[in-house]
Amino acid sequence: MSKDYSNGAAHVRGAFVPIDEATIPVLDWGLTRSDATYDVVHVRNGAFFRLDDHLKRFQRSLDSLRLVPPYSMGEMARIAAQCVVLSGLRNSYVALVSTRGRPRIAGSRRPQDCENTFIAYAIPWIDVIPPDVQERGAHLHIASVPRISSRSVDPTVKNYHWGDLTRGLFEAHDAGFDTTVLLDADGFVTEGPGFNVFVVQDGRVLTPDRGALEGITRQTVLDLCAMKRIDAAIVPLRRSDLLEADEMFCATTAGGVMPVSRIDGHIMSNDGPGPISMLLKEFYWAQHDAGWHMTPLDYENFEEPYAARLGA
């Protein structure tokens, strides 16, 4: 009996399985210590977006945490692509994950003794902020909990240290907001749960210079601004910059450019998405449709030519 991959496909412990069958051992340090890194690339209309950029960032994260998965980067890319092909998904959220694994020597406390792992999976498209919320503009809350210090956990290395972000989400939801954005201990704006933030002030597009992932979608927004000759910069931002913004939007692989209409008590653009936010959102998806930075998948003939294109 053939396996059903329609809800998503995963590669764990050297085998492809339906996503609902994908598991990790309970003693994996990725679970017990949050000792892991990952990257996420999306597939839109059957093609990866900025695949090479995601792979390069994943490699930097692996190097930073001294993780060495049992596959080359080309092999990992090919495995992730195979997950998409198995699922048949044309629009997909695709993750590459490496955990510390379990010690080869029982009871060892040395990270060097662990057998590092690689996991990949492809699941149906995810919007971090639901489409109907994006349409009216998301309502954000500035969390009271500060972002974990970048001196303790490097925010440019994708990680699962979400304790502060989860507290911020509970706080936002309890107060009737859609999601949250966190400041650091010095009061500077960092990021939200799974997205970078941008403000638009006097026609300028600005994003925080600290405490945040150097997002691929964040860089894409800056590239699109340059193409549209919109002034954009990475700068220090404080709470007052959020509460005085003309517009605001979030950016992430899982959703693209997502407009914001309210932040705490501050209402922007007549309580709807702003004009620059919408211009960038529409341009972002138009560039996808035009093939910009896209790596198409051949769902019928996966074996060739992807071995060469994906480096396997």
Decide if 54 is inside a domain. Answer: yes
Compute the mean pLDDT over every residue in the chain, rounded to the nearest whole number.
95
Same domain, 121 and 179: no
Q: Which residue has the tokens 């994908």?
A: 22
The CA distance from 50 to 47, in Å, is 10
Q: Are residues 95 and 136 in the same domain?
A: no
Per-residue pLDDT, 308: 39
pLDDT digits (tens, 9 = 90+) for 137-170: 999 999 999 999 999 999 999 999 999 999 999 9
Q: Is residue 289 part of a domain?
A: no
Task: Determine the Cα–Cα distance for residues 172 and 178; give it in Å rounded to an integer.
Answer: 7
- Say if residue 20 is in the same domain as residue 99: yes
- Is 284 part of a structural domain of the chain? no
Stretch 202-220: mean pLDDT: 97
Print the domain residue range for 238. 131-273
Q: Quick one: pLDDT at residue 302?
A: 64
Q: Measured between alpha carbons, how far is residue 154 from residues 41, 118, 126, 188, 289 in Å?
A: 20, 21, 25, 16, 34
59 shares a domain with 167: no
149 and 256 part of one domain:
yes
Rounded percentage of the chain residues whose pLDDT exceeds 70? 96
What residues pair up with 247 in beta bridges, in sequence order? Answer: 200
Rounded-to-integer distance, Cα 72 and Cα 132, Å: 40
Residues 83 and 97 in one domain: yes
Q: Residue 193 sits in a domain of what CATH number?
A: 3.20.10.10
Do 238 and 299 share a domain, yes or no? no
Judge whether residue 312 has pLDDT over 70: no
Q: Are residues 66 and 36 in the same domain?
A: yes
Dump pLDDT digits (tens) for 44-74.
999 999 999 999 999 999 999 999 999 999 9
Indicate if 204 and 304 belong to the same structural domain.
Answer: no
Residues 119, 182, single domain; the answer is no
Reduced to 3 states (helix: H, G, I; strand: E, B; else coil), residue 41 is strand
Q: What is the pLDDT of residue 298?
A: 86
End-to-end CA distance of the chain: 29
In a domain, 204, yes or no: yes
**Alpha-carbon separation of residue 30 from 224, 229, 240 (angstroms):** 36, 43, 38
pLDDT digits (tens, 9 = 90+) for 61-117: 999 999 999 999 999 999 999 999 999 999 999 999 999 999 999 889 999 999 999
Residues 138 and 254 in one domain: yes
Domain count, the chain: 2
Once rounded to an integer, what is the mean pLDDT over residues 176-181? 98
Residue 113 belongs to domain with CATH number: 3.30.470.10
Q: Does 259 fall in a domain?
A: yes
Q: Which residues pair with 94 in a beta bridge?
A: 41, 122
